[in-house]
Amino acid sequence: MGYSYKTSINFGLVYIPVNLAVAVRENNISFNMLDKKTMSRVQYKKTCVDCNNKEVEPKNIVKAYQYEEGKYVIFEESDFEKIKTNKDKNITIEHFATLSEIDPIFYDKSYYVVPSGGYKAFSLLKRAMEELNKVGIAKTILGNKEVLIMLRVKNNQMYLNTLHFFDEIALNPYQDNDTEVDKNELELAKAIINNMTSSFKPALYQNEYKERLLQAIETKIRGQELLPAREEQPNQVSSLLDALQESLKQTTKKKLKASDDVIDIESKEVKRTRKRTTTKKTKAKKNDA
Amino acid sequence: MGYSYKTSINFGLVYIPVNLAVAVRENNISFNMLDKKTMSRVQYKKTCVDCNNKEVEPKNIVKAYQYEEGKYVIFEESDFEKIKTNKDKNITIEHFATLSEIDPIFYDKSYYVVPSGGYKAFSLLKRAMEELNKVGIAKTILGNKEVLIMLRVKNNQMYLNTLHFFDEIALNPYQDNDTEVDKNELELAKAIINNMTSSFKPALYQNEYKERLLQAIETKIRGQELLPAREEQPNQVSSLLDALQESLKQTTKKKLKASDDVIDIESKEVKRTRKRTTTKKTKAKKNDA
DNA sequence: ACCAGGAAAGAAATTTCCTGGT
C-alpha cells in the first residue's frame, strides 16, 4: 500500500516518524467521457490560451497565483519550502481534548497513522491516549496546505483526522427561532423517534443503488433496454397530526416485530466480510490508442 | 446562496421538502497553471484520442462505463433516472441512533438542511430530535451517488452529514498487538497528556501557513526575494525515558502558567468574527484572453 | 503500476483527467 504523506508526531519531546495511509477509499462506479461519433476516449490536452491553443509541455508549466485580473506571480516548489518551518512539517501535538467536544462538522479526511520508527514510543503514546480516552490536537502542513489535525486511538489503532478550520464553516442560510411547536404533536414525534431507535451498524447498510447500477451495466452489455424501477405508491395523509398518529401506530407495530428479529440481525453483522469489489475497471491509458 | 441538492425528508409519514446547503467551504489559496514562456493561462482542451487529437465539442461527449479494456456502454442522464425510485430521491429516516455511536471515520460531507415547505413539521422534528438527543440515519441518492446519511440537530439547526459506506473503510496496514509498554513510562505519558489537556476551541486555530503564503505573495508582487522561514532548534534528547521526564517537567510548568491566562483565552474566543476572506481571487475565464 | 491529490470545467458542486510520489 502506498502512503499519502510522510511526517512525524511530536509528543512533548518524543519524536515518532510516521506515514499516513488513507483510511477511506471511495468505491464509486466511475465513468469516462467518449466522443459520441467515434466512441473514442476523450483526453485533456493542456493548451496555451494566448498562443492559438498550442499544446503546452508539462515542463513548461509553472504554478502561479493571480493577484489581479491577468496578473500573476510564479511559485516554484522551492518557494513553498522556504515558507515552511520544520515544525510545520511535523505533527506537534498542541494539546489533548475529548472526542465529544469536536463537532462532526469539522471532520474532513481520515488516515491511519503508521510508524516508520520509534515503535516503542508509538505504542506508548497509543496506550496512554486510549487509556485516558483523549484525542490529540495538532496543526501541520500536508502537501502545500495547512490542516488542523485530530489524533485518536481506538482498538489499539491510531487514526488521524484532518479538521476544517473554523473560518471554513459557512453560516446556515435558514434561521427559525420562533416557530411554535404543539405539545401534543411533540409528544407524538418523540414517541415515534423512540420506537425507531436502534443502534448504528454500518455494515448493515448496503449500497443498493450501486448494485442496481451494476445490473444496468450488465443489461447494457447484453444490448438490452433498461426498464424503469418499480415504484411504491406513497401513502397520502392529510394533516401533520394524522401523519404523526399513523406513523406512531406503524412504528409501534414494527418495533414489536423487530424485537423478535434481533438475533438474526446480530448474526448478520458478525458474518460481514471485508471483500473488495472485483468489478473495478482498468483505466484506459493514452497508449491504449 | 445556492443549494446543492433539492430533496425531502420522510419521517414516518411526515413529508418535508428540503434543500441542502453546503456547510463547509474550503478557503484555500489556489494556484493556476501558466505557460512559462508566455505567462499565459493553461486551458484543458478535450480531444479525441483516436482522431488525431481533434477537439471534441461538449455536446458530442457522452458518459460511458468501461466494462472491458476498450469496451464501453453509454449512459445517458435518462438511464440514471430509470434506476432511481422515488424513495431513492428522498431521505427516508430508517432509524434513529445516538451521535457517539458513529465513528468519526464514517463522516464525509456536511450540509445545512433548509426546509422549502412543511415548516411546522420541520420545527417539530428538529425539536423532538434535539430534546431526545437522537440522530436520524437514512440513505438517499445525491447526484448519481448513493450515500448513507446522518441527520442531527444542534442549537436548533439541522445538519446533514453524508457517511461513508462500511466497505469503503480500508484496513490499517499496520498492526502491532504485542508491543510491551513499560509501566513507569506509561504513567509519565499519561501525566504529560493530563497536563496538556484543555478544551477544543476551533476558533483559536489560525491558518498561519496561509498567512505566511499571503505574505510571500505580497513579497513576490513587490518583486522581492522570499526569505527562508526562521527555524527553531529542536531539543535533542537521548532516550525515550529522558524525553518523557523532560516533557513532564515542561508541560507541568506550562500548565501552571496557563491557568493564569485562562481568562484571556476565553475573551479571545468570544471576540471571534465570522469574516470572509477578501483575498479570494477572481478565477480567470476563457474569455479573459 | 498504482492511486491520492491538484487543476480545470461548468450544473457553480462535483466530476473528470493528469501527474508525481511511492
Q: What share of chain A is helix, strand, coil (3-state, %, to 5)?
A: 35, 30, 35
- In this structure, the number of other CB atoms found within 10 A of the CB of residue A25 comes to 11
Q: Which of B42, B81, B86 to mutate to test the interface with A (most CBs of A within 10 A)?
A: B42
| Segment 56-85 of chain A within 8 Å of chain B by CB | 56, 60-67, 69-70, 72-75, 79, 82-85
Question: What is the nearest CA distance from B92 to chain A, expressed in angstroms?
Answer: 12
CB contact under 8 A, A246 and B12: yes
For strands A32-35 and B61-68, give the pairing. Answer: antiparallel
CATH number of B5-26+89-168: 2.40.290.10
Q: Does A191 touch chain B (CB under 8 A)?
A: no
| Segment 38-57 of chain B within 8 Å of chain A by CB | 38-51, 53, 56
User: CA of B4 and C1' of C12: distance in angstroms?
Assistant: 10
User: CA of B93 and C1' of C19: distance in angstroms?
Assistant: 42
Which nucleotide across the nucleic acid strands is nearest to B283, CA versus C1'? C8
Q: Does B124 touch chain A (CB under 8 A)?
A: yes
Q: Return d(Cα B90, Cα B117) in angstroms, integer.
A: 14
CB contact under 8 A, B38 and A26: no
For strands A42-48 and A54-55, give the pairing. Answer: antiparallel
The string of DSSP codes covering A27-89 is -----EEEETTT-PBEEEEEEETTTTTEE--GGGEEEEEEEETTEEEEE-HHHHHHT--HHHH
CB contact under 8 A, B124 and A185: yes
pLDDT at site B251: 95
pLDDT at site B260: 67
Q: Which of B19, B48, B175 to mutate to test the interface with A (most CBs of A within 10 A)?
A: B48
CB B16 within 8 A of CB B122: yes
pLDDT at site A270: 39
CB A110 within 8 A of CB A24: yes
> Cβ contacts (< 8 Å) between A186 and chain B: which residues?
124, 127-128, 131
> Cβ contacts (< 8 Å) between A270 and chain B: which residues?
none
> Which parts of chain A register pLDDT below 70?
1, 234-235, 260-289
pLDDT at site B289: 31
CB contact under 8 A, A205 and B84: no
Domain ranges of chain A: 5-26+89-168, 241-289
Q: Which residue's C-alpha cell is 513548461?
A: A60
The closest of B75, B96, B93 to B84, measured between CA atoms, is B75
Considering the entire predicted model, what is its pTM?
Answer: 0.88
User: CA of A97 and C1' of C16: distance in angstroms?
Assistant: 39
pLDDT at site A37: 86
pLDDT at site B68: 84
pLDDT tens per residue across all 289 residues of chain B: 578 899 999 999 999 999 999 999 888 888 999 998 888 999 999 998 888 888 898 888 999 998 888 889 999 888 888 888 888 889 999 999 999 999 999 999 999 999 999 999 999 999 999 999 999 999 999 888 889 999 999 999 999 999 999 999 999 999 887 778 999 999 999 999 999 999 999 999 988 888 889 999 999 999 998 888 777 776 677 899 999 999 999 999 998 887 766 555 444 444 443 333 333 333 333 333 3
CB contact under 8 A, A179 and B145: no
